[in-house]
Amino acid sequence: MGRTLANKQALVSDLKGLFDESESAFVIDYKGLSVSEISDLRNRLRESGAVCKISKNTLLKRAIDGEAQWQELAPLLTGTTAVLLTKEDIGSAVKAYKKFQKDTKKTELRGGVLEGKLLAQKGAAALADLPTKDELYAKIAVGINAVATKLALGIKEVPASIGRGIKAYADKDE
């Protein structure tokens, strides 16, 4: 038994809501994946705040219809399509997918859309090389800590060098 019109409209509405909350979308070909492998992919993506949605291409096209930001996604919606929707941390979501792809060797990243611009397969895959938000925070914290440490050592060194100078002057007089 097929889906009813009301059921399809509800699915399109849900997809529109997910697209509205997302910053970027990546399209993959999931042909050959088992249900357990798709569940594994979804679990990996959930950790980075991303969502993997599988739907008919016509329903996905209806969900992005009228949304200027997502129009570039339409040519990628062919064949067996899964859409990875990311909210904040795009880099870690793409890294999670790339790790899954490396483990299973069954999926193919077709491309994606970021800020209304189409990313080809290489451009979308290049996002995996970017540091994640947590890695960037760590680098900033290390940089701030290094500056504070150098400042503290510099402040400490001023009286110490004055003390050494006075001691050297006193030793010279003896």
Q: Under CATH, which number does the domain 5-129 receive?
A: 3.30.70.1730
* DSSP letter (8 states) at residue 53: E
For the cut 80, the answer to whether the pLDDT of residue 19 exceeds it is yes
Instruction: Measure the CA–CA gap between 15 and 122, rounded to whole angstroms.
Output: 26
Instruction: Measure the CA–CA gap between 117 and 75, rounded to whole angstroms.
Output: 13
- Boundaries of every domain in the chain: 5-129, 131-174
pLDDT for residue 174: 65
* DSSP letter (8 states) at residue 88: S
Q: Say what the pTM is.
A: 0.71
Q: Name the 3-class secondary structure at 111.
A: strand
pLDDT for residue 168: 79
Residue 17: CA count within 13 A, CB half-sphere: 6
Beta strand segments in 69-164, E: 81-86, 108-114, 117-119
pLDDT for residue 43: 92
Instruction: Give the pLDDT confidence of 50-100 residue by residue, as tens digits.
Output: 999 998 999 999 999 888 888 888 888 898 899 999 987 788 888 888 899
Instruction: Give the pLDDT confidence of 115-166 residue by residue, as tens digits.
Output: 888 888 777 777 767 776 777 788 888 888 877 777 777 787 777 777 777 8
Query: What does residue 107 show for φ and ψ, rounded to 5 degrees?
Result: -105, 165
Q: Who wins on pLDDT, 174 or 79?
A: 79
Instruction: Measure the CA–CA gap between 40 and 18, rounded to whole angstroms.
Output: 20
At 48, the pLDDT band (50, 70, 90 cuts) reads confident
Tokens 């504070």, residue? 148
At 40, the pLDDT band (50, 70, 90 cuts) reads very high
